[in-house]
Structure 1
Amino acid sequence: MRAIVIEEQGGPEVMREAEADAPRPGPGEVAVAVEAAGVNFIDVYQRSGAYPVPTPFTPGVEAAGTVAAVGEGVTGVAIGDRVAWVMVPGAYAERAVVPADRTVPVPDGVTTEQAAAVLLQGLTAHYLTHSTYPVQSGDTVVVHAAAGGTGLLLVQLAKARGAHVIGTVSTAAKEELAREAGADEVIRYGSGNDPEGPDIAAAVRALTGGTGAAAVYDGVGAATFDASLDSLRLRGTLALFGQSSGKVAPVDPQRLNSAGSVYLTRPMLTHYIADRAELLERASDVLGLVASGGLDVRIGGRYPLADAARAHEDLASRRTTGKLLLLV
């Protein structure tokens, strides 16, 4: 089979396509013929060395395809089933082995590409808006990078729960996408001829009559963290769920006091799908919305497996919108 192999962490060029033996499922596992794999920032972090990973390895933690073989003791998943998974490594390959209890069924009405494109970001948007800070009707929330893969889904799910959504984006084209997803207000941060951009916190204050936002969903990290804290209302919540612009410097807890007794959390998807029941519940909600048309999944780019390096370059450049896929 073909697979992307990384023998030494580094730039996009360290990813190479190689021939490998097709893996066989062990007890409790299934082998899946991969049709589409999601390209995510966690893949970039693992490839670059920002997240240390033993080498050699095949990157990719999200994909969808058809079950080709099942291991001993597997129940509830059968050969021929369409399944998707997230947070299990080895997705950049023609075949991957996955624990059966980490797979989720892909329902009728959802394409395999949609399933691969929505699961990681969709489950992330779900736990952020339903659990980390459960959005209440009438809340104002801020979504950074509102035209990205997670941002577009966050906007939609927050709106579905009755929020007034303020999105931040870097370009006019991304502003249009954020508004199409349901953002009520959009702030354009620095780019091009205006690298400094507006004062995001001041803009949020102005749009909320000086009150601030109930929650800020921040997957950008270093570049937006200070503005995120300063955008919160009294006892607001900053959910820092990513670091696409770099790591946030250590924070003095006193800053949370001075910002208005606010809450800071650094959530991780793995902790919100820790048991199978929670995984299936969230996945059923998200995929059900896709099937019914209640959640629009934007696929921003499709690449052949051999072009994984180019997909990483495009994702890291922040030139893209929506979700990038490797088609196997």
Structure 2
Amino acid sequence: MRAVQITEFGGPEVLNVVDVPEPEAGPGQQLYDVSTAGVNYADTHQIENSYLAAQQLPLVPGAEFVGTAAGGGPRVVGLLDGGGYAQKVAAHPRLTWPVPDGVTDEQALAVVLQGATAWHLLRTSAHLAAGETVVVVAGAGGVGSLAVQLARRWGAGRVIATASSPEKRALTEELGADVSIDPALADDDPKAFAAALREANGGKPVDVVLEMTGGHVFTGSLSALAPFGRLVTYGMAARQDTPSVAPGALMQRSRAVIGFWLAHCMARPHMMDDAMTELLPLVADGALTPISGGRYPLTAVREAHQDLLARRTTGKLVLDPAR
């Protein structure tokens, strides 16, 4: 079968489409034919070996797929420990969910990892309360575009999004953000970013920040929090070290810094069920709108990663293993 494999760590240049043996289903696993594979920003870290879990070579990246069980069956969307950039995958059925009629592969992939992340960021980690101000960093991205919609749906008093271009900022406002700002304000001065967040909130500090950049964005976001505010961090896109947070700095304003990684929900499948059983019907009913960022042939996987890293994309990117 065809798959994307890396034999050395690096950037998009290490991604190669090759013929490899079909995966073998392990204990409790099922073999699936893949119709569409999902691409996530975390994959760019995985191929560098710069993410949270150490990787082993050779490696087939990819953590999600839509497909059918080998030999036939209903269309499902599923999560994987790896191996998703391929024509076939071995997955645990417990981490798959039926895709409702009318929901496309791209839409299902948008919610299985990124949508579930947005769901848990707001519900499990931030414990969003009605009327609170929510800041969504990278509000036009795969997680952010869904988090903006969910925060609005669940009663946020004000939603502030950041996005790197006028077009992306306009999209976040179409999705439900009250106001959007340019995260480049944080490039040299986290204080300027914190001031911009407060200004966007009518001069007041904010209650919740969903942050996936690190560096100055993290520092500025923490500074902008109100008493009892929560900063939930779930990514390291800036590839910068984030300064340590002193206990006294948290105590001064009763602030909280919370880390989130969806892998821990995958180890507790009922937590994934909580998110998926709400998100997929919302998409089917048209109440939640995943943003498609583009369908790339498997042979164009390098281009997909390059576009992600250059911030040229919005929403969900997917790969077509048949091309």
TM-score > 0.5, shorter chain as reference = yes
Q: TM-score, normalised by structure 1?
A: 0.91
Amino acid in structure 1 at the alignment position of 2:244: P
- Alpha-carbon distance in 2 for matches of 1:48, 1:9: 5
- Would you say 1:56 and 2:58 are equivalent positions? yes
Q: 165-174 vs 194-203, which deviates more?
A: 194-203
Deviation at 1:276, TM superposition (A): 2.5
- Would you say 1:203 and 2:226 are equivalent positions? no
- Alpha-carbon distance in 1 for matches of 2:216, 2:294: 25
- Alpha-carbon distance in 2 for matches of 1:295, 1:219: 22
Contact 2:30/2:90 (CA < 8 Å) preserved in 1?
yes
Deviation at 1:222, TM superposition (A): 1.5
Contact 1:87/1:270 (CA < 8 Å) preserved in 2?
no
- Would you say 1:184 and 2:178 are equivalent positions? yes
**1:165 counterpart residue number:** 159
| Structure-2 change in CA distance of 1:249 and 1:304 (3 Å) | same
**1:219 counterpart residue number:** 212
- Alpha-carbon distance in 2 for matches of 1:321, 1:22: 32
Amino acid in structure 2 at the alignment position of 1:49: N
Partner secondary structure for residue 150 of structure 1: helix
Contact 1:83/1:104 (CA < 8 Å) preserved in 2?
yes
Question: Any stretches of 5+ residues in structure 2 without a counterpart?
Answer: none
- Alpha-carbon distance in 1 for matches of 2:38, 2:26: 24
- Alpha-carbon distance in 2 for matches of 1:196, 1:85: 40
Q: What CA deviation, in whole Å up to 9, does each residue of 1:123-160 have, x standing for no partner?
A: 00000111111222211111111111111100000000
Deviation at 1:206, TM superposition (A): 2.5
Amino acid in structure 2 at the alignment position of 1:187: I
Q: 128-137 vs 225-234, which deviates more?
A: 128-137
Contact 1:118/1:297 (CA < 8 Å) preserved in 2?
yes
- Alpha-carbon distance in 1 for matches of 2:116, 2:245: 28
Deviation at 1:117, TM superposition (A): 2.6
- Alpha-carbon distance in 2 for matches of 1:114, 1:327: 14
Partner secondary structure for residue 110 of structure 1: coil
Amino acid in structure 1 at the alignment position of 2:133: T
Deviation at 1:286, TM superposition (A): 1.0
Question: Any stretches of 5+ residues in structure 1 without a counterpart?
Answer: 70-78
Amino acid in structure 1 at the alignment position of 2:184: G
Q: 212-221 vs 103-112, which deviates more?
A: 103-112
Q: TM-score, normalised by structure 2?
A: 0.92
- Would you say 1:100 and 2:93 are equivalent positions? yes
Corresponding residue to 1:255 among 249, 254, 257: 249
| Structure-2 change in CA distance of 1:195 and 1:276 (3 Å) | closer
**1:289 counterpart residue number:** 282
Deviation at 1:202, TM superposition (A): 1.1
- Count of aligned pairs between the two proteins: 316
- Alpha-carbon distance in 1 for matches of 2:20, 2:296: 21
- Would you say 1:19 and 2:16 are equivalent positions? no
Amino acid in structure 2 at the alignment position of 1:21: P
Amino acid in structure 2 at the alignment position of 1:166: I
**2:139 counterpart residue number:** 146
Q: 25-34 vs 194-203, which deviates more?
A: 194-203
Contact 2:188/2:216 (CA < 8 Å) preserved in 1?
no
Deviation at 1:107, TM superposition (A): 1.7
Partner secondary structure for residue 70 of structure 2: strand
CA RMSD of aligned residues (A): 1.9
- Alpha-carbon distance in 2 for matches of 1:190, 1:207: 15
- Alpha-carbon distance in 2 for matches of 1:276, 1:174: 33
Amino acid in structure 1 at the alignment position of 2:173: R
**1:124 counterpart residue number:** 117
- Alpha-carbon distance in 2 for matches of 1:188, 1:53: 34
- Would you say 1:66 and 2:68 are equivalent positions? yes
Deviation at 1:326, TM superposition (A): 0.8
Contact 1:187/1:200 (CA < 8 Å) preserved in 2?
no
- Alpha-carbon distance in 1 for matches of 2:8, 2:317: 24
